[in-house]
Structure 1
Amino acid sequence: MIAVLKQKKIAALAILFALAFPLLIPNNYYLHMMTLSFIWMIAVYGLNLLAGYTGYLSLAHAGFFAIGAYTLAILTVKAGLNFWLAFFLSCVISSFIGFLVGLVALRTKEHFFAIYTLCVGYIIYLVIDKWDNLTGGVRGFIGIPSPANIGPISFQTPVSQYYLVLFFLLLVVFVMYRIVYSLTGRTYIAIRNSEELALTIGISTMKDKLVSFVLSIFFTSLAGALYASFIRFLGPDIGYISVMFDLLIFLLVGGIGTMSGPVVGTLLMTSISQQLQFLQDYRMLIFGPILTLLVIFYPRGVVGGVIHWKTKRTENNRDSRVGKISSHSSNEKQVKEG
């Protein structure tokens, strides 16, 4: 109970800090970077739902991030739809495509699933890169509008866009929390731990995996749509493998299968990336070995490692108390017998 209260206090402090950030640090550069970090967090939460809690590592999420972004751009610029209608449709269309992909992909397991989704992600990138008439190809897509006003509320300033993205991030975290700590979340964890055992106790694993896959893509495409409206320019590189690598390293550094891992990992790695901008051309050479060492020696990530350390400390304290009680009882028995 005490641990739960501590977690709630930490979460409340983090939210308060995020709300006060534009007032504490009134710098447009840091505001821009923090807003961008929030967008990546939403995408990482989508990946975490599938990989961390259901146990299926998808390498196509960068492609679905790009689909969400480009769908919003096409619907607003070329089709002339209202921004918020286009925003909603971009997530729905991406999720529907994910549903079709999942029907085939989820019939495979483990590394076969990862390889299949990697191919799907690369095909999405090629479609975006080569379909000039629709996506602009290598020239990119320009003229994407910023979020439309909602009544008297305008989203034309960096601060207002920051709070808009923060709102969606908090909404995604809330939905993730409700999913993870529900019967649905326990079902996903059961599938992750042993799909065969989940089948034997009556869980419809294919249906639950498909729902998890579609939900994760919905979150990722939501991040893509926010990215398009925030940056207002798109290039095919946002669907490339390097973006998938970034999402994966954010998740693994923070802690896969944890609620706060995406936040910690994204903030930590984006901060390091900004400090090492002069090595941008060699980032894959730097982060590649780091990721490999992390998976081998610290697979739980930062948050997972802290949770494991606290658990071990609690167990050691409990064992020491039990040992003292046993020793005290033994001494009393010896005194009585004497």
Structure 2
Amino acid sequence: MATIFNKRNGIYLILVIALFMPFIVPNEYILHVLALVCIWSISVYGINIFTGYTGNLSLAHIGFFAIGAYTLGILTVKAGWNFWIALLAACVLATILGILVGLISLRTNGHFFAIYTMCVGYIIYLIIDKWDSLTGGVRGLIGIPSPSPIGPIRFDSLTAHYYLLLFFLILTIFITKRIVQSLLGRTFIAIRNSEELALTIGISTKKNQLLAFVISCFFASLSGALYASFIRFIGPEIGSTFLGFEMLIYLIIGGIGTISGPVIGTLLIVFLTQSLQFLQEYRMLIFGPILLLIVIFYPQGIAGAINDLTSRLRRRKIKGNRQNEDKRAGVEEVG
């Protein structure tokens, strides 16, 4: 399953299941959760591009998620903009801010970079919480409109909104896959493996790290804007550090630095937490040890563990085929 996005048949199978999910499971609650999985997965793919492929940890990601959500909310509710123009503006604003933040923060390295970005994320949260006249403060923004119709296509129903979010998720996976398999993606991986070695072969590490950071901010703002239009109400808590760590957990569980990891981790953890809601605050007593065991025994996440298993089975099959060929060759020589 970890290599499923590298196999054309696997992609088609997953796509068909996702497309027919509203008919397979005609349950609005499950469809609502699946829509949230699509939104969170887009954001986690943004984290994966920067953290998973360049090896840097940004804790400002949730801040850019909140910027996307509030930009779309303010432009549509207070300024009366069209949804699609506001969505584009939210992504452009987050991208510009991402460039500015990245130019400063990438002057630091390691845990200093993580601490700096955490401070940036907290500053964004404070601005949202305290700028009452613009953001609504603790009251938040209410009545954020659904996406505007595109010709005869309307997004008033939950099913239509689910298909829209699924489209953006598929587009995100496609873009991520193309980036990772390109020269740019190999450059990111080279920086992650050894920044010093990457410098010696002429790679501009800061320039490429900045590019990965900006791409990450773009996906964060996109998912934030889609979240605002789906929930139709947002408050300062969407910029909290706790939510940012939740997204990071989705990536770690699914498989950091893999194509399928973000969607696997998000799908698994979101449904697990929803299933354990009857335990209320005690559900962490079950979820915590599960997370700890996965991190200890499968540091590459579920996708990485499955990838290792399939690689072992493939090597064992190749070894068996070679042994059979050697036996046949020995029999022929004796004959």
Same fold (TM > 0.5): yes
Pairing 1:181–2:181 present: yes
- Read off the aligned partner of 2:116 and give its amino acid letter: Y
1:91 match:
91
The CA deviation at 1:220 is 1.1
Pairing 1:211–2:214 present: no
Q: Percent identity?
A: 59
1:269 match:
269
Structure 1 unpaired stretches of 5+: none
Q: Distance in 2 between matches of 1:324 and 1:163?
A: 50
Structure 2 unpaired stretches of 5+: none
- Read off the aligned partner of 1:175 and give its amino acid letter: I
- Read off the aligned partner of 1:158 and give its amino acid letter: L
The CA deviation at 1:247 is 0.5
Q: Distance in 2 between matches of 1:282 and 1:199?
A: 48
Q: Which has the higher mean CA deviation after the structures are superposed, 52-61 or 226-235?
A: 52-61
Pairing 1:103–2:103 present: yes
- Read off the aligned partner of 1:19 and give its amino acid letter: L
The question of whether the paired residues in 1 share the 8 Å contact of 2:72 and 2:86 is answered with: yes
Q: Give TM-score scaled by structure 2 length.
A: 0.92
Q: How does 1:1-338 map to 2 (within 5 A)?
A: 7-282=7-282, 287-322=287-322
The CA deviation at 1:53 is 1.1
Q: Distance in 1 between matches of 2:110 and 2:323?
A: 43
Q: Distance in 2 between matches of 1:285 and 1:118?
A: 27
The CA deviation at 1:187 is 0.7
The CA deviation at 1:324 is 6.3
- Read off the aligned partner of 1:228 and give its amino acid letter: A
The CA deviation at 1:151 is 1.4
- Evaluate the alpha carbon distance shift between residue 284 and residue 236 of structure 1 in structure 2; reply closer, same or farther with a 3 A threshold: farther
Name the Cα RMSD after superposition.
2.2
Q: Give TM-score scaled by structure 1 length.
A: 0.92
Q: Distance in 2 between matches of 1:123 and 1:6?
A: 40
The CA deviation at 1:313 is 2.6
- Evaluate the alpha carbon distance shift between residue 324 and residue 250 of structure 1 in structure 2; reply closer, same or farther with a 3 A threshold: same
The CA deviation at 1:294 is 2.9
The CA deviation at 1:326 is 6.3
- Read off the aligned partner of 2:50 and give its amino acid letter: L
- Read off the aligned partner of 1:30 and give its amino acid letter: I
Q: Distance in 1 between matches of 2:41 and 2:194?
A: 28
The CA deviation at 1:133 is 1.0
Once the two structures are superposed, residues 197-240 of structure 1 have per-residue CA deviations (whole angstroms, 9 ceiling, x without a partner) of 11111111111111110001101110000000000000111111
| Secondary structure of residue in 1 paired with 2:203 | coil
Once the two structures are superposed, residues 52-100 of structure 1 have per-residue CA deviations (whole angstroms, 9 ceiling, x without a partner) of 1111111111111111000101111112222111110001101111111
The CA deviation at 1:286 is 5.2
Q: Distance in 1 between matches of 2:264 and 2:4?
A: 19
